[in-house]
Amino acid sequence: MKYSPSALLAWSRTHEGKKLIRYTATSAITTIVSLGAVSALYGFRWISSVIAATLAGNVVGVVPAYQLNRRWTWGKRGRSEFRREVAPFLAVTVIGIAFSQLGAWWAKHEVNTHHWGHLANTGLVAAANLLSFAIFWVLKLVIFNRIFKVDPLKMMDEHLLVEEAGTA
């Protein structure tokens, strides 16, 4: 398989390429939301506990993450199916948040062990949170691909309509 820039560009125009690009953009957006919330909550001392600030900040990003992934990345419309979409999404999200709590626990240990300034501590808490979620990124892609499964014929029709519109 060629990995030239033109091959990568061609792949990015396929349905799978577009979906991965949208998933990556969604992840970036929701990471910024969660990371911003964690940093603000802990950094401005609205929540002084590393663990509580990490939990609260990550919960802030759950709704935008679900909506962006469901609607934009996987193109699902209409009512969400609780058992097939919402529950599995929340389960994976809770696992990710629980893992981020392990990162927060480690960051709390480092904050208490070293006597750095609050800005450095905030950076450490944010970095631990970011690293925790980075580990789950690929796993979530695989799982969400199954949760928000769209009919393959519908995807092909959508792709063909987009191509036809581009050549018209």
Q: Average of pLDDT values for 96-122?
A: 90
Sequence spans of domains, the chain: 20-167
- What CA–CA distance (Å, rounded) separates 23 from 140? 10
Of 144, 155, 158, 147, the C-alpha closest to 26 is 144
pLDDT in tens, 15-35: 778 888 888 899 899 989 999
- What CA–CA distance (Å, rounded) separates 69 from 52? 26
pLDDT value at residue 73: 81
pLDDT value at residue 6: 83
> How high does pLDDT run on average in the chain?
83
2-to-17, 61, 93, 129, 152 alpha-carbon distances in Å? 15, 37, 35, 35, 26
Q: Average of pLDDT values for 54-76?
A: 90
pLDDT value at residue 24: 87
Tell if the pTM clears 0.95, that is, is over it. no
User: How are the residues of the chain apportioned to helix, strand and coil, as percentages rounded to the nearest 5?
Assistant: 80, 0, 20
pLDDT in tens, 116-164: 899 998 999 999 989 888 877 777 777 777 766 655 555 555 555 555 5
